[in-house]
Structure 1
Amino acid sequence: MAIFEYTKSEFAEKLHKVVSPNGPIISCEHLVGRQDQLDRIEKALYSPGRNIFIYGERGVGKTSLAATAANLWQSSDSDYIDISCAPDTTVKSLVANIASQAVKATWMTESKITEQANIGCKWLSYSLKSEVSSTDLASKIHGLSDALEILKEVASIHSSSPVVVVDEVDRIEDEGEVDLLADLLKQLGDKRVKLKFIFTGVGSTLHEILGAHRSAIRQLETIELPRLSWNARWEIAINALKAFNIDIPKEIYIRLAAVSDGYPYYVHLIVERLLWHLFEKEEEAIVVSWDDYYKALDDAIFGIEAELNRPYQLAVNQRERAYEHVVWSTCADEWQGASLQEMYSQYKNIVPQIDGVDELPYEKYTSRIRNLLKDSHGAILKKGKKKGYYEYREKVLRGYIRMQAEANRVEIISQEAKVEIQSYMRAPAKNLGYHKSVIPKGVKQN
């Protein structure tokens, strides 16, 4: 079925089955590039008393992996329990929220389950009879032993294979509560309570999230989630467009993969906007053109969340000219912090792609880079671990900066990216002769 044959509602429904920029992916079919992590999670969940902790940079898809894994493990007699943490989250409020969701599920299941809760469960029986809120229940919890008993009851009445997803654990500000959570996890493991937890948190190491509270580590399978590989990035685009019988040329999906910086959010957002553009075109769309791609990129940039747009605008809207080109050059390295020399080399590659721009001397360039550490300039950078190196304060910002450069027809693909792409593609590199786009030297296509 061609894309123009869908009604708007039919198109929107199918579109959000193949891309999901604004919410977690919940099915294996559309969770591209994460099969290894899913396999690890599945094996770990078979182990009695073992739970999961998924961590990594913001935007890499931790919530989607957790939701998909939970859907796979959770038995069909109920939905998994989904909890999001906040700065003021406590162990009591967390457990009370879990119990509250379990009680609601109990009311919606067969009456014999409700009867079981009334007969055999002290805490949930009280909740069912009194219709208490999670806040009320939290006030009745006086310690970890109470919390443990509630979770035992949840495990007994919720479903055959109950799963709890606890998202954004890193947001809990009280270190004492993190310590209590670690102790609760340890007790759940020691008592082999039949309730599986999948936690997520933002951090480059688990130590950043749990700090010194490491007593629960042996009960956790820790999954560090990296950014998407190159082939996973373009596979999302290829498959989504294929669902509407549209082809995307190799040189365009390579560029889409590059500009996304390995963050699923950016890939899904650009592809979503691309498909909407193709659906609304007057002429029938069969193959994605460069004009289609750039129109989608412009639309995607307008749709980016304000917390990414704000520091970028602060950085580039300065009295001195040429800040935007300097900001683009900070994308010099693919994975880690870049040195001033590396960024300046990238800057020298950027300037010739822009008409009417004079190259800044090294001294002026480095002065502008150092200004990007200041709040007045967006504070998009921080000093790296090595002398003379700089990193992003929010690594996900790098993808947004790449999108801005790409929308201005400036191509940024690092040497590391060229090497990695080369491992996937096979055919002579060539100049595409359009929008100054060049497949990186050494990159091969089929």
Structure 2
Amino acid sequence: MLDINLLRRDLDTVVARLETRQSPQPFLNVAAFRALEAERKDLQVRTETLQARRNALSKQIGQLKGKGDRAAAEAVMAEVAGIKAELEAAAARLEQIQSELHTLLLAVPNLPLPEVPVGPDESANVELRRWSPTGGLGADPAPLPFEPRDHVALGERLGLDFETAAKLSGARFAVLRGPIARLHRALAQFMLDVQTTEHGYTECYTPYIVNAETLRGTGQLPKFEADLFAAHKGGAQGDEPPMYLIPTSEVTLTNFVRETIVPQAELPIKLTAHTPCFRSEAGAAGRDTRGLIRQHQFDKVEMVQIVHPQHSHAALEEMTAHAEAILQKLELPYRVVLLCTGDMGFGAARTHDLEVWLPAQGRYREISSVSNCGDFQARRLQARMRNEQGKTELVHTLNGSGLAVGRALVAVLENHQNADGTITVPPALRPYLGGAERL
């Protein structure tokens, strides 16, 4: 959530920056915000005037009683009672206005940092670097010496089954059997081990079903309810609040610090978890209908950091490197891209996407997105730290994939395929597959 004082100080500038995200800008009802703010200011001025009048009249009551002028005292007391009623009404309306302003702000995305390139969509993203196992930093992927098969054709002989999944659940689901299921598990275990033993993250196991307050804290609600799967619609009478399947463990891990004051000495907090993720993919009709790229259910190893506000820029670079390390150990060509304003997620102030090379598609595809959210989520969560002066201030939160397991599976199949359709297992994964060198 944005600091409302930013909007109060310079609403036009804030709106102009928001409009660089998407056009037209659908995030804030500016007219409603101006009207509520004007009413709020009027009520506060009126309240201060009434309070001053009430205080002055209260002194008069004592003076009049002291003089024995009972009638005059009662008249003043009646006026004080009327002021009290007016103050109560003003307080109730102020509370309602604050609630309406809060509701407006919940739909407003984060402000892009000044260095984020302005652009309408992914065409304006900026490549920061690329890497290839054959050429290192700056190198393009080496072409395969044969016509590459895609991961669907490669995966079918290893146990990738969309037909059974469609029978069980419908489109955009997959069943993995035998070797490919084991490869999927190996990737997740490998990622967790690297993040915990080499990068200092604490492994966590979290719920897969959460309440609405948890999703509001990280920004999925209220704006993106259509993207969620509701797991519970209420009791027999519909009187219980809804529950939702998590779209990512960023939601649960970041909420660990909700309504908490973290001692500065405990920062940074670095958390990781392997969970399934559930997304309705609203608006994705017709996109990536073949294969594992865009599924309703997929697995991800998530990284979350809770940091001192002064350290979030450095933490973003660190987390990007942590995701890159996985790709390099798996010997997968990739590039790092700085997202433009029009391609960024709702809660992000700056985002780095890691895109892995897929030979069958002849293009890079996103496999990790690492974002610095600044204090945007922390303000919604009321997640704070105590600074050097003993005062509380909002922490900064960051999240990123380390990595998306299904897309890593796709990349391993396509990049490490052989002409006969077998897959060479990257050396880093072999200990997780009983030493197998080929699948």
TM-score (structure 1 length as normaliser) = 0.22
**Which structure has more helix as a fraction of its residues?**
1
Bigger radius of gyration: 2
**Which structure has more strand as a fraction of its residues?**
2
Q: Highest relative contact order (Cα 8 Å, sep 6+), 1 or 2?
A: 2
